[in-house]
Amino acid sequence: MARDQRLLEATGTLNANNGNEMGYQLTDVGKARALDALAQSEYFGAMPVPLDVYREQVKRQSIRNIMVTRAHADKRRWAIWFCQRR
């Protein structure tokens, strides 16, 4: 996939005696993509919370099993209307 998008290119085998290890480097397009990703989030380091705690929080924030009823929609519409009148 990365090669198809021209994000990296093969530089050849790493060991003359073993042709199974191939070296790769980022292309200019790949470097630009990496810099763009870095600009979006410069955090580098350990996770601020344990992974299992993070996973549990993500599950709690999921909207996958939420059912919106007419009562919910009507209440939301009323709140929007009320806020616009202020």
Contact in structure between 54 and 47 (CB atoms under 8 Å): yes
Tell me the C-alpha distance between 67 and 64, whole Å: 9
Q: What is the model's pTM? A: 0.42
φ/ψ of residue 48, rounded to 5: -70, -15
One pLDDT digit (tens) per residue for the chain, 86 residues: 777 788 898 888 766 666 677 788 899 999 999 999 888 887 777 778 899 999 999 988 888 877 778 887 787 777 777 677 76
Residue for token pair 């060991």: 15
Count of Cβ atoms closer than 10 Å to residue 64 Cβ: 5
Domain positions in the chain are: 8-85
